[in-house]
Structure 1
């Protein structure tokens, strides 16, 4: 009987697998078709405009190939990714701690809610400028500026997660004497995981954009720095080449890491 039940329970997975694979192929086909259509439209408009400020896709890919061959693309992209990674980890950790504290303690939430609103509405440009003035034109100042802009967003997400924790599940854990570690692992974290994944996905999109601004303002390396130099020279081809390269890197991280993570942490809801 155990063998039969095991086979029965595994059957839906076997049946669902081809469907999931077909859905992935369909999504890939739509994505490819959409991007190819965009590239064709871009090519047509660029050929019609005949302007150095609107290069064709082939011209942009030529710049991309040249920058990759001379090593500048890899050097600046890796520098930006390093700053993104550090700022992302710091902001996620601090923002998660703040959000959980505010979500679980009403007094702290009432007192610090105004602070949270203030930092949520503080322009990134102001934060970047102040950090460079206070701490100098250093990587530490750049990462601090990026983290300060992201921490409030993470805190808001995690505060909502902490507020939505089930009191019934907490009571069950106390009745069955789970202990703090088992309660954290099997009760609290599964409920918080979707909020954490959502904060991570939105956080990555926000962090890398701010990092580019930070680099354009006061760093001598990175994609943002290259974009600022290209802007001064009105080199639209280089601007588009570096932008496309970094968007591609971020999208790879999104599709291979963050989206599968969100699907996994939401699986318990089904």
Structure 2
């Protein structure tokens, strides 16, 4: 997703004054050539807007809201639900919590708290989509975004989802509009308006049986991915053997 270059330049002038593009790029950690190419093409990426905002200590969501396509983002901020919060806890952290609880139960004590790794994790996009998908979110998203279902599935499987699709997914799922941007790594949980302790609190509040069921689902999904990778590797090896 992009924003018009003209609007970007107007915004940049408003927030950075007469600062040169070279100085802006250095502060934002982006290549000068990258910004120049985007301006020439007439479209500037949301990643560029976010990087410049962070370099100027501006709220990313508020910066995006200055562009018409994202004007409703601030009003669309909602606290994530329990399922969304759990979706942004990595497989390793989830399993560690289960093991800690089991060990604590055997020893008759309280479980050790898990220090959560930062969001997103290796399957955060798929986990978030699954958390908000009541029935046919993927099909609705593909239709509304005019994207082939297989292309959408490929993005989700690769743990990628462009900001436009993440926001549209949130609209369809009727959750906070910035929540999907956390799952994709475009925003940090704090930038999206999440309570810093929300994920840890959700993990502690979830019954052991629910965590075990969730872990089983995650492991099954991982197993399918690993099987595909192994099959592809075997097929490639067979081709090389036949060629040899």
TM range (shorter): under 0.3
Query: How high is the TM-score relative to the length of structure 1?
Result: 0.24
User: If you compute each CA radius of gyration, which structure gives the higher value, 1 or 2?
Assistant: 1
Larger relative contact order (Cα-Cα within 8 Å, sequence gap ≥ 6): 1
